[in-house]
Chains A and B, each alone.
Chain A
């Protein structure tokens, strides 16, 4: 008996987004269709202006789609964890309090919230910085706090909007390794927007390529590199071939 195909956790069907302003209509997305399986790490790759952030904002409920629909399955209670391009921490809350925020909004008791936030601190290796103020953190540390905050309430879907875009190259590559190992421990379903080919290949199970505006998906590439991924893989011929395919698709 053949195994039945797993139900996707997220199903996006012919989604379109049009913004109207005085210059006329701007077609950001057109007929975007794809699905994500539970525990899959999917990267959304595209040039700037391809509407990839718009897509993420629609899925996060920050923008309404103009046409089409998206459905989340498997859970009545959809919890989203989101990491933005900037760490987006509340400057009046210390590191631990920032991580506790999603739990407080859910009404989790303070003691329990504190304990779970503390676990996240350990997950992202920020022990000793619990009481630090956001303004005293480096860019990489702030982004790790943001990641911990996005994970603390055990979301069904993690949306990452170019989370390492504002970091320097070395920090960014260190964050790839960390995110990769966190993902292996937690196995969250992840949808991550990026414009970096190596970032997408290093992290994802699948890469979706969005075209220039109006954005639609022109390539759905399975990344069959073994896990855990290492730095060395990035210089292997196979990595190069995959990168080439993505590059050609972006055009």
Chain B
């Protein structure tokens, strides 16, 4: 089994373009809020179907001051970070082995493809049944969803290291460890970070899916609980918090890229 078909999943990582102007973003956001406020009032919808922005804002302040929001956000963030770490760690180790050994690739590829054929949403209930509604099942779901994109990009990244640079290292009598440190890691980093960028946003989805299926805390739990009480404003608060989390994680990876991939930036913007 060849991993080549996966190649198209690998996104090479270029730091996202800097925003031309913050004004455009602010104006667009303002217009969207206005449209939302207008729709809520003009359509005369009850607050449990579409709360107006002002109500959501009020609910946000309330949930923030009584500590609910922070508690659930912290739980979800912890799941995401742990899941991201575990998933990435396994993806790096297995991805490196796949990249270096065709035999290992043939051995493991069918299982990898099989696990990817199953939608995570479908097996999330199973995982929660097996491992309980605690944090462990969420971390597991997170790491499963993070694993694949990071793995593929690790494989593609390590395989993309030019042969000629391997020749150079060998002519300098570099050890295996030196080849890893001075050649393979820096050479694979751009493509690897592209995978991590996708993984970071997927991790948010993984955590919420797990929490929606069964949990005692977290933003997914909060959404479920608020929905049960027709507290739609709180659902909105949780959703916006999730969006903020995802964007922040994406931003963290983008910062890493800017730090490590300086040499890739276009010289004249």
Contacts and interface: CB of A to CB of B under 8 A. Distances in A.
B22 interface: no
B165 A90 contact: yes
Nearest to B260: A92
A96 to B, nearest CB: 13
Main secondary structure of the interface of B (DSSP, over half): helix
B257 to A, nearest CB: 12
Interface in B144-190: 162, 164-165, 167-174, 178, 182-183, 186-187, 189
B23 interface: no
A80 B182 CA distance: 18
A88 B187 contact: no
B267 interface: yes
B186 A90 contact: yes
Interface residues on A, range: 20 to 34
A49 B183 CA distance: 30
B167 A105 contact: no
A92 B168 contact: no
A92 B167 CA distance: 17
A102 B183 contact: no
Nearest to A87: B164
Interface in A79-102: 80, 82, 84, 86, 88, 90-94, 101-102
A82 B172 CA distance: 8
A237 interface: no
B263 interface: yes
Nearest to B162: A88
Nearest to A57: B167
A62 interface: yes
A104 interface: yes
A84 B164 contact: yes
A88 B178 contact: no
B168 A88 contact: yes
Contacts of B187: 90, 92
Contact of B172 (A84, A93, A102): A102
A159 B174 CA distance: 17
B172 A101 contact: yes
B263 A105 contact: no
Main secondary structure of the interface of A (DSSP, over half): loop
Contact of A62 (B170, B178, B261): B170
A61 B170 contact: yes
A187 interface: no
A82 B171 contact: yes
A102 B168 CA distance: 10
Interface in A116-142: 133, 135-136
B172 to A, nearest CB: 5
B263 A91 contact: yes
A82 to B, nearest CB: 4
Nearest to A77: B173
B263 A133 contact: yes
A94 B263 CA distance: 8
A243 B168 CA distance: 33
Interface centre among B164, B168, B169, B189, by most chain A C-beta atoms within 10 angstroms, is: B168
B172 A105 contact: yes
Interface string B116-143: 0000000000000000000000000000
B182 A88 contact: no
B176 to A, nearest CB: 12
B58 to A, nearest CB: 50
Nearest to B189: A92
Interface in B222-240: none
Interface of A: 57, 60-62, 80, 82, 84, 86, 88, 90-94, 101-102, 104-105, 133, 135-136, 153, 159
Interface of B: 162, 164-165, 167-174, 178, 182-183, 186-187, 189, 261, 263-264, 267
Q: Which 3 A-B pairs have the closest CB atoms?
A: A82-B171, A60-B171, A92-B186
9 contacts: A61-B170, A80-B171, A82-B172, A86-B164, A88-B164, A88-B167, A90-B186, A90-B187, A101-B182
Given A61-B173, A133-B263, 20 more contacts: A60-B167, A60-B170, A62-B167, A80-B171, A80-B172, A80-B173, A82-B171, A88-B165, A90-B165, A91-B263, A91-B264, A92-B187, A93-B186, A93-B263, A101-B182, A102-B172, A105-B182, A135-B263, A136-B267, A159-B171
